[in-house]
């Protein structure tokens, strides 16, 4: 126990705590002048208490138990992803189960199951000798199936933002596995060729218009471009130190859309300004760099792939959420980890970071910096 306490990465834990505190304050402000979101900060605090208890529980178990948990999560949530397609549409997608007033999004916990299953397959793949080509081909095929099943089901909802998360997770894990750079160059070339073809011959006029509005929101300021414009106004009006807690015009008058989840960063930028906005970016940068370090120091390949998969997930959520609030990324329903409101999202991130802390505590060396 003493060794686990000594080796646990407290930098990662501190980042999680600071982000959670900032999130609760921002959610309180976002719901202050509305009846719809008024009590969400209380629910967020309850969820955070549950999550931190869960993180301690995950920290105590042996890493080997992750394998069976990953298989159970993956298989059960494939079934749930099929089932959710037959539910009613909410915000344009069939992504949630309504459990007595509580919404559950199965694609969230699927990320954790997916990371564990891919980590096991990749660690097995790397352990096989070069002469055993048939085993390598079999494992590669299994990796493709494990990847394509959830992505295809999520795209059918449709939820493009969450589907892209799986691409980022896989990309980080593949780079960790040691992909040759010529394959990376080939992939970039294929994407460059396919993008204009898909845009011209696959996307509908409506979808093409969404892309045009993303590039220039002023084309439809009261329709598709409204969210992006209002968010950028909020971010810009915060200036250096912000308008003040509970004093943001865009936040308190309800101009910022979906302000406790997708656009929570806009609330923070308006009321707390550039200083706190940059602080959040710095915290995420520290968190991501620290997780990469833990991945390098992990005691085995399986643990290392889990950590780098979690890093890819957190990195994309951070990049996409903040990017869309300042107009650099298309608007999708991707929340900001530990800051945005939402039980499913918190549960996923809590499980994922709990595994990272578990692996950091069991690394061979007990030094923070080697």
Residue 368 lies inside a defined structural domain of this protein: no
* Top mean-pLDDT range of 5-9, 97-101, 170-174: 170-174
370 found inside a domain? no
Rounded Cα distance, 186 and 258, in Å: 39
Print the domain residue range for 191.
Answer: 7-361
With 90 as the cut, is the pLDDT of residue 209 above it?
A: no
> How confident is the model at residue 210, as a pLDDT?
67
* 155-164: b (≥16 Cβ within 10 Å) or e: eebebebbbb
Q: Determine which helix (DSSP H) or strand (DSSP E) holds 325, and give its type and residue range.
A: helix 301-325
- Range ranked top by mean pLDDT from 125-134, 198-207, 246-255: 246-255
Q: CA-CA distance, 138 to 99, in Å (whole number)? A: 39
**In the structure, what pLDDT confidence band is assigned to residue 200 with cuts at 50, 70 and 90?**
confident
| pLDDT given at position 368 | 47
Domain membership flag for residue 367: no
Q: Establish if 279 belongs to a structural domain.
A: yes
Give pLDDT tens digits for 306-340.
999 999 999 999 999 999 999 888 888 789 999 99
Is 70 exceeded by the pLDDT of residue 48?
A: yes
The residue among 102 and 77 whose pLDDT is bigger is: 77
Which structure tokens are listed for 246?
């509970």
pLDDT for the residue 207 = 61
Q: Is pLDDT larger for residue 199 or for residue 296?
A: 296
* pLDDT attached to residue 296: 92
What mean pLDDT is reported for the chain? 88
The CA distance from 139 to 124, in Å, is 8
Local confidence band at 21 (pLDDT 50, 70, 90 cut-offs): very high
Asked, for residue 366, whether it belongs to a domain, the answer is: no
Phi, psi of 164 (to 5 degrees): -65, -30
Contact 324, 318 (CB under 8 A): no
Residue 301 falls within a domain, yes or no? yes
Q: By three-state DSSP, how is residue 15 classified?
A: helix
Q: In the chain, how many domains are there?
A: 1
Stretch 117-124: mean pLDDT: 94
- Are the CB atoms for 269 and 277 separated by under 8 Å? yes
The answer to whether residue 1 sits within a structural domain is no
- Check: CB of residue 322 under 8 Å from CB of residue 281: yes
Q: Is the pLDDT of residue 266 over 70?
A: yes
Q: Measuring CA to CA, how many Å separate 235 from each of 36, 99, 264, 269, 270? A: 23, 35, 11, 5, 5
369 lies in a domain?
A: no
């Amino acid at each position: 126990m003493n060794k686990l306490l000594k080796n646990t990465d407290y930098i990662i834990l501190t980042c999680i705590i600071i982000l959670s505190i900032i999130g609760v304050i921002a959610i309180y402000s976002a719901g202050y002048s509305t009846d719809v979101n008024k009590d969400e900060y209380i629910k967020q605090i309850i969820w955070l208490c549950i999550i931190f208890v869960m993180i301690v529980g995950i920290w105590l178990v042996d890493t080997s138990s992750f394998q069976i948990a990953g298989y159970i999560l993956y298989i059960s949530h494939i079934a749930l992803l099929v089932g959710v397609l037959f539910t009613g549409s909410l915000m344009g997608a069939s992504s949630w189960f309504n459990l007595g007033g509580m919404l559950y999004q199965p694609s969230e916990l699927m990320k954790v199951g997916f990371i564990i299953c891919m980590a096991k397959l990749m660690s097995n793949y790397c352990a096989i000798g070069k002469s055993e080509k048939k085993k390598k081909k079999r494992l590669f095929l299994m990796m493709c199936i494990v990847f394509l099943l959830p992505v295809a089901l999520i795209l059918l909802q449709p939820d493009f933002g969450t589907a892209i998360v799986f691409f980022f997770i896989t990309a980080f894990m593949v780079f960790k596995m040691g992909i040759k750079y010529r394959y990376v160059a080939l992939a970039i070339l294929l994407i460059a060729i396919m993008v204009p073809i898909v845009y011209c011959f696959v996307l509908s006029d409506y979808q093409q218009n969404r892309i045009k509005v993303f590039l220039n929101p002023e084309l439809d300021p009261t329709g598709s471009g409204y969210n992006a414009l209002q968010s950028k106004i909020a971010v810009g009006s915060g200036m250096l130190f912000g308008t003040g807690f509970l004093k943001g015009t865009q936040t308190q008058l309800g101009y910022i859309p979906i302000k406790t989840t997708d656009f929570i960063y806009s609330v923070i930028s308006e009321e707390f300004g550039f200083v706190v906005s940059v602080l959040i970016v710095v915290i995420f940068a520290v968190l991501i760099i620290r997780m990469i370090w833990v991945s390098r120091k992990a005691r085995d390949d399986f643990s290392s792939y889990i950590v780098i998969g979690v890093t890819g997930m957190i990195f994309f959520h951070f990049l996409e959420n903040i990017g869309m609030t300042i107009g650099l990324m298309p608007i999708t329903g991707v929340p900001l980890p530990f800051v945005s409101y939402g039980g499913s999202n918190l549960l996923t991130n809590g499980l994922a970071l709990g595994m990272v802390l578990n692996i950091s505590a069991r690394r061979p060396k007990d030094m923070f910096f080697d």
